[in-house]
Structure 1
Amino acid sequence: MSDPIAARPTPDRAGIRVICNDHSGRNSREAEAIDRAMKVLGPEAELRHVKGRDIAGAAQAAVGEGVGTVVAAGGDGTIMAVASALRGSGCALGILPLGTFNFFARGYGIPEDPESAARVIAAGHRRKVDLGAVNGQLFLNNASIGVYPAILKERETVYRRWGRRRIAAHWSVLKTFWRFRRPLKVEIEVEGQRRRFRTPLVFAARSAFQLEHFGLQGADCIRDGKFSVFVAPNEGRMGLLSDALRLAVRQMRLGEDFELICTDRLTIHLRRAQQLVACDGEKFTMRGPLEFEMIRDAFEVIVPEEAKDKVQPGGRAA
């Protein structure tokens, strides 16, 4: 194995800090992946295991200490927490994908193999990225209200029993759809125009890769630097189950299974004072209304050399 290439931080920053979700560190497969990556990164890289709720704080500490590259070792929720702390800092984000789906990493061509991902980090090729935000909370791939936060809750139970597997994640979707009974009553405001919806799900997407993975429309909207907002019709749980099956076989129908709104800013007005919001697989309780906006050039992410000048999978041309 060749020696790792030194990372290329801004002149006043140096070193690599790897922040690992402590949950990942307890999984033998993921622990082995981290160990393999650290061997590639070499002695200049420092590993920190932290609990999920402390990830953002650990990243902020790294920024304050002048670290040049902070690596998120985990899934999209871990990456989101680290990315939020790096916003505007001049510190680059490296990614060691250890999640179930890894949509953000895969969208930028970052390998899921730990040694290959570590070599990308060591090479240090950066590019600026745009992110979405809801009420100030950044998200990488998507933010949603309705049935999806309920799916996440069920998924935690399934993972505890069966482990973090993609088939288990799909099973949690079916179980939640079967049990879900209460659609939301919302008003969605875009450019001063309000529309009322009774819906089980409002899903704001920022990952073109994720949409294409599931055969959904809206990727071009995301590449134009906007949100693709999906609003599901209120068809009851049998309708949700039917939609889940069509999603699985990539046959979702625009206008029948969902309505698509393309915009770079929207407001969701709620009937209730607070709403559970899912952002990249993490749950947050937020007060309404929910304000969605684009954050341009939020931070820099380290990507493979061939991806640094391509059109961003989640936004505009670099």
Structure 2
Amino acid sequence: MPPCLSHQHSKLFIVFNVRSGRGRAQAVRATIARVCAENGRDYQLFEIGRAGRLAAQIREAVDAARAASGIVVAAGGDGTINAVAQAVMGSGCAMGLLPQGTFNYFSRTHAIPTDTEEALSLLLRARPVPVQAGLVNERVFLVNASLGLYARVLEEREVYKSRYGRSRWVALWAALVTAMRRHPGWDLRIEWRGEERIVRTTTLFVGNNALQLEQVGMPRPEAVEQGELTAIALKPVGRLAMFRLMVHGALSRLGEADEVMHASFRAMTVSAARPGRRRAKVATDGEVQPMAMPLHFRVAPEPLWLIKPAPGEDGSEDARR
């Protein structure tokens, strides 16, 4: 274990995305101040209001935490958590979570409460535990990485959220509208486990989150807790078949559909089967960015040290709901 992870009373360096959640920034600030004061824990807040400042603020927080043997805390949704994890991995610092997002898959998987006071109370008493991260072209993902239709759904979801608010219902409606459009397939060359296949698909999804995979009904969701990632590819289908697939997912039966291909792996390379495509939009934990092909997916060689409940201990009764 890196030296700075062993400090039980370390100062907290909190990266707080005030745009996450539903306009609760002031309440979150007040809760952090009160709980830390009650427990005699020192902290420093790095507030982020503009996306352009995210990377700089995170780097400043991580540098300060390293100098003070402190803990870097991500207060935000999966995108903020991903950005913080990218900087924390390899720094020797532990990472804590104060979930503020819409779905909070990563925090729920690790039994971290969505209530800020409960999550902070857990953070103050729990210890760092190594957890698996995935990489695509050296970009960290904790929940999933994807290209094709799923990445487009995430990209267009942000447009809907900016117009109608950040809620699960808005996110689900945006996904339905986007998925019902016509989407031509991609021809991808996929190499894993010493094999190579040409796959025509509308979307390639790589999961690193057992809870999300279990909710949509994929077989062996526990593979990601046993040192692997899970790849899911959808065959090109019409609107009616796409709607049927969405229903299968909602009923936790996606793995039963004939149009779904899936496999588990530790490393996989994806390239365009036809010449000409050099880049692809890839979503990592909900954040979309262009990446050069080929895409190299793999399990990160080192873990993320996450402050979470010990095995057999839940952060709260509803942490994994």
Fold agreement, TM-score > 0.5 = yes
CA distance in 1, matches of 2:27, 2:278: 45
Amino acid aligned to 1:181: H
2:121 to 119, 122, 141: 119
- Is the CA contact 1:34–1:114 (under 8 Å) kept in the aligned structure 2? no
CA distance in 2, matches of 1:238, 1:150: 19
CA RMSD of aligned residues (A): 2.2
2:99 to 87, 97, 100: 97
Residue equivalent to 2:46: 48
Distance 1:251 1:124, change over 3 A: closer
Residue equivalent to 2:23: 28
TM-superposed CA distance for 1:293, in Å, is 1.1
CA distance in 1, matches of 2:71, 2:255: 42
2:164 to 159, 162, 165: 162
TM-superposed CA distance for 1:255, in Å, is 5.7
Q: Following superposition of structure 1 onto structure 2, how do residues 294-313 of structure 1 map, counting pairs within 5 Å?
A: 294-306=299-311
Residue equivalent to 2:32: 37
TM-superposed CA distance for 1:188, in Å, is 0.7
Identity %: 33
Distance 1:39 1:213, change over 3 A: farther
1:17 aligns with 2:22: no
Greater alpha carbon shift after TM alignment, 16-25 vs 115-124: 16-25
TM-superposed CA distance for 1:303, in Å, is 0.6
- Is the CA contact 1:128–1:301 (under 8 Å) kept in the aligned structure 2? yes
Amino acid aligned to 1:61: E
Distance 1:60 1:124, change over 3 A: farther
CA distance in 1, matches of 2:9, 2:113: 25
What runs of 5+ residues in structure 2 fail to find an aligned partner? 315-321
Q: TM-score under structure 1 normalisation?
A: 0.88
Residue equivalent to 2:247: 245
Distance 1:55 1:41, change over 3 A: farther
Q: Following superposition of structure 1 onto structure 2, how do residues 171-250 of structure 1 map, counting pairs within 5 Å?
A: 171-250=173-252
TM-superposed CA distance for 1:123, in Å, is 1.4
CA distance in 2, matches of 1:89, 1:251: 40
- Is the CA contact 1:273–1:287 (under 8 Å) kept in the aligned structure 2? yes
What runs of 5+ residues in structure 1 fail to find an aligned partner? 1-7, 310-318
- Matched residue SS, 1:169: helix
- Is the CA contact 2:234–2:259 (under 8 Å) kept in the aligned structure 1? yes
**Aligned length, in residue pairs:** 301
Distance 1:123 1:146, change over 3 A: same
TM-superposed CA distance for 1:162, in Å, is 2.0
Distance 1:251 1:98, change over 3 A: same
Distance 1:205 1:145, change over 3 A: same
- Is the CA contact 1:180–1:237 (under 8 Å) kept in the aligned structure 2? yes
